Structure 1
Amino acid sequence: MAPVTEERTAVLDLDAAVAHVAGAALRDGPVGAVGLELEAHLVDLDAPAHRVPWARVTAVVDGLPVMPGGSRVTLEPGGQVELSAPPCPDAAAAVAALRADRDVLAAALAADRLAVAPVGADPLRAPRRVCPAPRYAAMEQHFAAVGCAEAGTAMMTGTAALQVNLDAGPRGRWSERVSLAHRLGPTLVAVAACSPLAGGRPTGWVSQRQRVWGDLDQARCGPLLGGADPAGEWAGYALTAPVMLVRDGDGGGAVPVRERVRFADWVTGDAPLGGRRPTTADLDYHLTTLFPPVRPRGYLEIRYLDAAPEPWWPALAAVTATLLDDPVAAGSAAAATEPVAGAWDRAARHGLADPALHAAARACLAAAVPAVPPALRAEVEALADLVDRGRCPGDDLLDTARTAGATTALLSATGDLR
Structure 2
Amino acid sequence: MTFIITSEVDNAHPPPTASAELTSADTAARHVAAGCLQDGSVGRVGLEIEAHCIDLADPGRRPSWDELTATIAGLPPLPGGSRVTVEPGGAVELSGPPLPGPLAAIDAMAADRAVLRTAFADAGFGLLLLGADPLRPPQRVNPGARYGAMEAFFEASDTGAAGAAMMTSTASVQVNLDAGPSDGWAGRVRLAHALGPTMIAIAANSPLLNGQFCGWQSARQRVWSQLDSARCGPILGASGDDPVSEWARYALKAPVMLVNHCEADAEPVTEWVPFADWADGRVLLGGRRPTEADLDYHLTTLFPPVRPRRWLEIRYLDSVPDTIWPAVVFTLTTLLDDPGAAAVATEATAPVATAWDRAAQLGLGDRHLRSAAHRCVLTAAERAPAELEESMRQLVRSVEEGRCPADDFSDRVIDHGIALAVSQLAQGEL
What range describes the TM-score normalised by the shorter chain of this pair? over 0.9
Deviation of 1:3 (Å): 11
In the TM superposition, what are the counterparts of 1:169-188 in structure 2 within 5 Å?
A: 169-188=180-199
Deviation of 1:417 (Å): 8.7
Residue identity opposite 2:300 in structure 1: T
Worse-matched range after superposition: 406-415 or 347-356: 406-415
Deviation of 1:12 (Å): 3.9
In the TM superposition, what are the counterparts of 1:187-266 in structure 2 within 5 Å?
A: 187-225=198-236, 227-248=240-261, 250-266=262-278
Alpha-carbon distance between aligned partners in 2 of 1:306 and 1:415, rounded to the nearest angstrom: 19
The 1:3–1:244 alpha-carbon spacing in structure 2 relative to 1, beyond 3 Å, is closer
In structure 1, the partner of 2:118 is 107
The 1:251–1:209 alpha-carbon spacing in structure 2 relative to 1, beyond 3 Å, is closer
Are the equivalent residues in 1 in contact too, given 2:49–2:94 (CA < 8 A)?
yes
The answer to whether 1:378 aligns with 2:390 is: yes
Alpha-carbon distance between aligned partners in 2 of 1:211 and 1:285, rounded to the nearest angstrom: 26
In structure 2, the partner of 1:141 is 152
Determine what percentage of the aligned residue pairs are the same residue: 54
In structure 1, the partner of 2:70 is 59
In structure 2, the partner of 1:22 is 33
Find the residue that maps to 2:117 and give its secondary structure.
Answer: helix
In structure 1, the partner of 2:326 is 314
Alpha-carbon distance between aligned partners in 2 of 1:411 and 1:344, rounded to the nearest angstrom: 31
In the TM superposition, what are the counterparts of 1:10-409 in structure 2 within 5 Å?
A: 10-225=21-236, 227-248=240-261, 250-409=262-421
Alpha-carbon distance between aligned partners in 2 of 1:66 and 1:363, rounded to the nearest angstrom: 40
Find the residue that maps to 1:40 and give its secondary structure.
Answer: strand
Alpha-carbon distance between aligned partners in 1 of 2:384 and 2:298, rounded to the nearest angstrom: 36
The 1:244–1:2 alpha-carbon spacing in structure 2 relative to 1, beyond 3 Å, is closer
Find the residue that maps to 2:111 and give its secondary structure.
Answer: helix
Find the residue that maps to 2:426 and give its secondary structure.
Answer: coil
Unaligned runs of 5+ in 1: none
Are the equivalent residues in 1 in contact too, given 2:381–2:392 (CA < 8 A)?
yes
Find the residue that maps to 2:244 and give its secondary structure.
Answer: helix
Find the residue that maps to 2:303 and give its secondary structure.
Answer: coil
Alpha-carbon distance between aligned partners in 2 of 1:134 and 1:100, rounded to the nearest angstrom: 32
Deviation of 1:415 (Å): 3.3
Deviation of 1:5 (Å): 7.5
CA-to-aligned-CA distance 1:10-40 (integer Å, 9 cap, x gap):
3442232111111111011111111100000
Alpha-carbon distance between aligned partners in 2 of 1:221 and 1:3, rounded to the nearest angstrom: 22
Residue identity opposite 1:167 in structure 2: D
Are the equivalent residues in 1 in contact too, given 2:54–2:127 (CA < 8 A)?
yes
Deviation of 1:373 (Å): 3.2
Deviation of 1:62 (Å): 1.8
Deviation of 1:379 (Å): 1.0
The 1:400–1:3 alpha-carbon spacing in structure 2 relative to 1, beyond 3 Å, is closer
CA-to-aligned-CA distance 1:205-256 (integer Å, 9 cap, x gap):
00000000100111000001252111111111001100000112x3431011
What's the C-alpha RMSD, in Å, of the aligned pairs?
Answer: 1.6
Alpha-carbon distance between aligned partners in 1 of 2:128 and 2:15, rounded to the nearest angstrom: 37
Residue identity opposite 2:426 in structure 1: T
Are the equivalent residues in 2 in contact too, given 1:123–1:409 (CA < 8 A)?
no
Deviation of 1:63 (Å): 2.0
The 1:4–1:81 alpha-carbon spacing in structure 2 relative to 1, beyond 3 Å, is closer
Are the equivalent residues in 2 in contact too, given 1:12–1:280 (CA < 8 A)?
no
Worse-matched range after superposition: 182-191 or 197-206: 197-206
Structure 1 ranges of 4+ moved more than 4 A: 1-6
Are the equivalent residues in 2 in contact too, given 1:123–1:201 (CA < 8 A)?
yes
TM-score of the pair, normalised by structure 1: 0.97
Find the residue that maps to 2:68 and give its secondary structure.
Answer: helix
Find the residue that maps to 1:385 and give its secondary structure.
Answer: helix
Are the equivalent residues in 1 in contact too, given 2:16–2:297 (CA < 8 A)?
no
Deviation of 1:160 (Å): 0.1
The 1:2–1:126 alpha-carbon spacing in structure 2 relative to 1, beyond 3 Å, is closer
Residue identity opposite 1:241 in structure 2: A
CA-to-aligned-CA distance 1:128-153 (integer Å, 9 cap, x gap):
11111111011011011111111100
Alpha-carbon distance between aligned partners in 1 of 2:288 and 2:274, rounded to the nearest angstrom: 15
In structure 1, the partner of 2:3 is none
Residue identity opposite 2:193 in structure 1: H
Q: Give the count of matched residue pairs.
A: 416
Are the equivalent residues in 2 in contact too, given 1:102–1:417 (CA < 8 A)?
no
Residue identity opposite 1:370 in structure 2: E
Residue identity opposite 1:335 in structure 2: E
Find the residue that maps to 1:204 and give its secondary structure.
Answer: coil
Alpha-carbon distance between aligned partners in 2 of 1:114 and 1:221, rounded to the nearest angstrom: 32
In structure 1, the partner of 2:7 is none
